[in-house]
Structure 1
Amino acid sequence: MTSRRRALLAAAALTGLAPTRAFSIASGARPRVVVVGGGWGGASAARALARAGGLEVVLVEPARQFDSTPLSNLVVAGLCAPAALVRSYARLAREVELVHEAAVAIDAERAELRLASGRRLGYDRLVLSPGVDFDWDAVDGARAAHASGAVLHAWRGGAEAARLREQIDALRPGGVFAIAIPEAPLRCPPAPYERACLVAERLQRRNPRAKLIVFDANPEPASEAAQFLEVFRTRYAGMVDYRAAHRVVGVGADGAAQRLRFEVDDDQRVDLVNLLPPMRAGTLALHAGLANRDGRWVGVRWRDFAATAAERIHVIGDAIQNENAMAKSGAMALAQGEVAGAAIAAELLGHGAGAPGELASACYSFTAHDAALTLQTRHRYVDAAQGWQPDMAARVVSAAPEAARAREAWGWAARSWAALLG
């Protein structure tokens, strides 16, 4: 490296600016791919890019440890400690450069990512796995209720999942707990119904006179409807009251309780509510103007998950507008990350782009501590359709909860975490 080059790099470091450079194979410089989000999609993409070799891979993730959102309903139900879902980034950090900062803005024209510290990272390709955020304004009073700590969503696991469990355990004898579910699409469609089952089981043991009301904005459960409704009707008879087509439009304190307002029904007073506002693509993608599908979700080119609203940006995971029964799930994000990473590496390194392969997804939903459902899907890329088509022959759906599926779930999680983190 020349002394002038060293001086330029030092100056860039002092000013918080990483040099942006146009990449060409002839220059010999390694192309830089910046990945935002160290969850199931982002970590998967980062590892796929690193495996290709010849790339500078930077993963931007503010959290110091990986905390799995899949299985976090077990924390809400007191079936595992939060620490059971936490893993280290140490092995991944041996493969990629890990930057523990929040990404706050994208300058697509300059191909730069701005971090909370003011530092800027130039990129040749940017991969976003920003997850979902909530449309707080869609439910009157929801933002203030959540800020006060009275109404939690616990949709990202971690400390909030543990706090919701504490609130449930503090419910008065015979009290009423409600779960409010937004209209699909939403992250992990079976998860709200899994949560209802697991909380009902906990209440049966600890507060048997309590009631659990599920207010669902959808006409039926958004995933495995028949199976969940049967579990509500049988295993949790007298405890769970499922109400379809009940969209919550307002929430507010009513003494020590909460009052819910609905689009088409009378107000309902409950002691405690777990409110999930409507979901949309993560704020970073939204503010970058990438959410060009209904103003909520990101449209992508399916072969490599390139955003249709900007060049050199790829988006994977829950933030994209999924089609053809492609779920918003951790396993699907992992698969998308592998496909996108391989496609980006092939393009930047001048390799021929091969077939995108397949997207395999598995989801386990506990209906009790000792029983679970599974939904397994497989999608194959079809050139003629320029999209992913479900392989119905590979689809596996539990007809009813099984103990074997509950035992499988932890093994599936361990294998997934190893694939993500090394």
Structure 2
Amino acid sequence: MALDPETFDALITTIRRFVSERLRPLEAQVETDDRIPDDVVQEMREMGLFGLSIAEEYGGLGLTMAEEARVAIELGRTTPAFRSNFGTNVGIGSQGLVMAGTAEQKAQWLPRIASGDIVTSFALTEPDVGSDSGSVKTRAVRGKDENGADVYRLSGTKRYITNADRADLFTVMARTSDDPGGRGVSAFLVPRDLPGVSVGEPEKKMGQKGAKVADVNFDDAPVPIANRLGEEGEGFKIAMRVLDRGRLHIAAVCVGVAERLIADCVAYAGERKQFGKPIAEHQLIQAMIADSKTETLAARALVLETAAAKDAGTNVVMESAAAKYYASEMVGRVADRAVQIFGGAGYIADYGIERLYRDVRLFRIYEGTSQIQQIIIARETMKRGG
């Protein structure tokens, strides 16, 4: 259920002020320290950002997809690592539980996820499994724990797991049968403190400093039967539903980053002078700004239209893939033009443009590469008959 317009407008205003006055001044510090300050994380908790997509009955804000997309656009106007800090709680880390969890599972976990007391992660990718997500090798085999209770014994390694270094709860996709492809995959809620669960050192990355990714290892970890999400063999379907929503959220963030870059370019071009006048008056600079603005407007319209369709109950598998594909490719082009408009300054760290240039590169890879989105778009188009 959507918030009333006045309440939602107040939320947007609060987030916009938080981004501009609190987060943007910290961007260089986060890049250097590779971490989000603890007091900022606490402020995010108090604002309800960890529970944007979780129902009010569990302590969240219960935003619709259209409302969540607008919030994501606002959050995109700063370093993406800030949003990523709570992004797994809002999206891929919690939505499997929201979509497929039992009443007991939801009551146990969702209130603490919404408050930010628990950080969640989504564990699908493996060392040998990326885009071919139906081929997971991590296994969950029925067995007994030390007290003789029925459990799944979970063994395997997950790779590049966002927020793994801080996560208290993992949604893990593991193979429970030898059925081919996704049909043999099931989903599990795996607490970090289970015996046999360990997290590796965070990886060094190209961009999005402050948002950590790491391996998660499972060595015969005893997962209670009650922690399975859905029935055996439903894990792949759950994962795809989660990613449909996550892709739309990421597309909205891409729009926000592009809008930030355009604003920075316009401000710089109005001040920087060459050949006796501001570079904003040179037509080739104007052309780059015009292209960036047009593409950003198109992406914004696609995201918001798709979000509204999802809220209406429409199947948006194709449209979510298209939004993520177009918006992530678009923001890469906008970032590249921004470096060009800033010239030498765009290549220097002080201006922050090169940082955003590095940050946005990941959008074309995670939650499904651009090439995977193309496959989904083509498949769904043919399925619908064009």
TM-score normalised per structure 1: 0.26
Query: Which structure: greater strand fraction?
Result: 1
Q: Which has the higher helix share?
A: 2
What's the TM-score, normalizing by structure 2?
0.28
Is the radius of gyration larger for structure 1 or structure 2? 1
